[in-house]
Amino acid sequence: MFDCAIIGGGPAGLSAALVLGRARRSVALFDEGKPRNRVALASHGFLTRDGASPAEIRKIAHDELAAYPSVSVRESRVEEVVREADGSFRLTDAAGESWRAARLLLATGLKELLPEIPGLRELYGRSLFCCAYCDGWEMRDRPLALVAGNDHTFHLAKTVFNWSKDLLICTNGYDSLEPEQERALRERGIRIDHRPIERLVGEDGQLSAVRFADGEEIARAGGIVAERLRQAAPFAERLGCAMTPYGGIEIDGAGRTSVPGVYAAGDAACIMPAQLVVAAAEGSRAAIGINEDMTDEAFA
């Protein structure tokens, strides 16, 4: 019986494991090894690790966790979580092995649903990104494209405009701009093209042009993709956790969900902003909440 099982080995889960390990709690951290940012060459905005690769940050975290004997990192995929009659949780992985824990922290993150455009996936994480705060500095003052794919095109355009005034919005038939929003963007010199995209052209991960269905190409040197997001794992809904209107796991200030004993942290809960430093902080906060709740229970 572990004190806490953590599903998800991203910044939120790793941070929570560190805090709980230092609190002398027994922890089982389940990490499938397929983080959402694995396509990125570098991570940015994480103080003391600005520019480090996601793999490097993950390795450092694992090395640090190794100093705490009560923390066990298991490289396996959790397939099922069941709440037992005594309130504990039984987790079963893909190999059929099971573990039990008194508390459960969901740090499972989100899954991206990218627009289905030829060439996009070959460029994603190299010259096309989803977060201007993470990668805008490296693309500053370049001719950029914003590929629409969700309902936040206007917000993203305003944000990206801070890094480059040479901005082309490609709606690709995704009607997400109100007339007054389109007018405001055009007044600032932002181009908007509603034609379907035939292909995103580039080599070795570097975008060079957007090719439209009529054959015309417009040169671009990078850009932002407005992707859609969904929960990467089904456990919150299966356990009956309340969800926010934006699809995140609803939590209080200590990371507690609506289900007793279940906590959540990171992108799966806050949705946006999806940054490493924010996820790590949320993991730390949830871990403190877990430890405080277990401490209070022991003294009840």
pLDDT tens-place string over residues 146-192: 999 888 899 999 999 999 999 999 999 887 899 999 999 999 999 99
Judge whether residue 126 has pLDDT over 70: yes
Residue 260: CATH number of its domain = 3.50.50.60
pLDDT of residue 150: 86
Secondary structure of residue 19 in the 3-state scheme: helix
Judge whether residue 259 has pLDDT over 90: yes
Indicate the number of domains in the chain.
Answer: 2
Same-domain status, 78 and 141: no
Same-domain status, 187 and 277: no
Q: Residue 260 burial (CB < 10 Å; 0-12/13-18/19+)?
A: exposed
For residue range 128-140, list pLDDT tens digits in order.
999 999 999 999 9
HSE of 274, CA atoms in CB hemisphere, 13 A: 25
Give the range of the structural domain holding residue 200, as residue numbers without chain letter. Answer: 115-225
Same-domain status, 210 and 127: yes
* Neighbour-count burial for 142-154, b at 16+ CB within 10 Å, e otherwise: bbbbbbbbbeebb
Strand partners, 80: 92
Confidence of residue 79 (pLDDT cuts 50, 70, 90): very high
Judge whether residue 80 has pLDDT over 90: yes
Judge whether residue 144 has pLDDT over 70: yes
Judge whether residue 273 has pLDDT over 80: no
Of the three residues 166, 191, 225, the one that is the final residue of a domain is 225
Q: Quick check: bond before 118 cis, omega within 30?
A: no
Whole-prediction pTM value? Answer: 0.92
When pLDDT is averaged across residues 104-108 and rounded to a whole number, the result is 97
Same-domain status, 123 and 216: yes
pLDDT of residue 272: 73
The helix-helix angle for 11-22 and 276-298 (nearest 10°) equals: 40
CA distance 16 to 41: 25
DSSP 96: S
For residue range 7-64, list pLDDT tens digits in order.
999 999 999 999 999 999 999 999 988 776 667 778 888 889 998 998 999 999 999 9
Same-domain status, 216 and 124: yes
Of the three residues 172, 203, 225, the one that is the final residue of a domain is 225
Of the three residues 173, 202, 225, the one that is the final residue of a domain is 225
Q: What percent of the chain has pLDDT over 90?
A: 84
Same-domain status, 101 and 157: no
When pLDDT is averaged across residues 223-230 and rounded to a whole number, the result is 92
Same-domain status, 209 and 264: no
pLDDT of residue 34: 76
Same-domain status, 191 and 210: yes
DSSP 250: P
pLDDT of residue 151: 86
| The two structure tokens encoding residue 160 | 């990206």
Same-domain status, 120 and 221: yes
pLDDT of residue 37: 66
Confidence of residue 210 (pLDDT cuts 50, 70, 90): very high
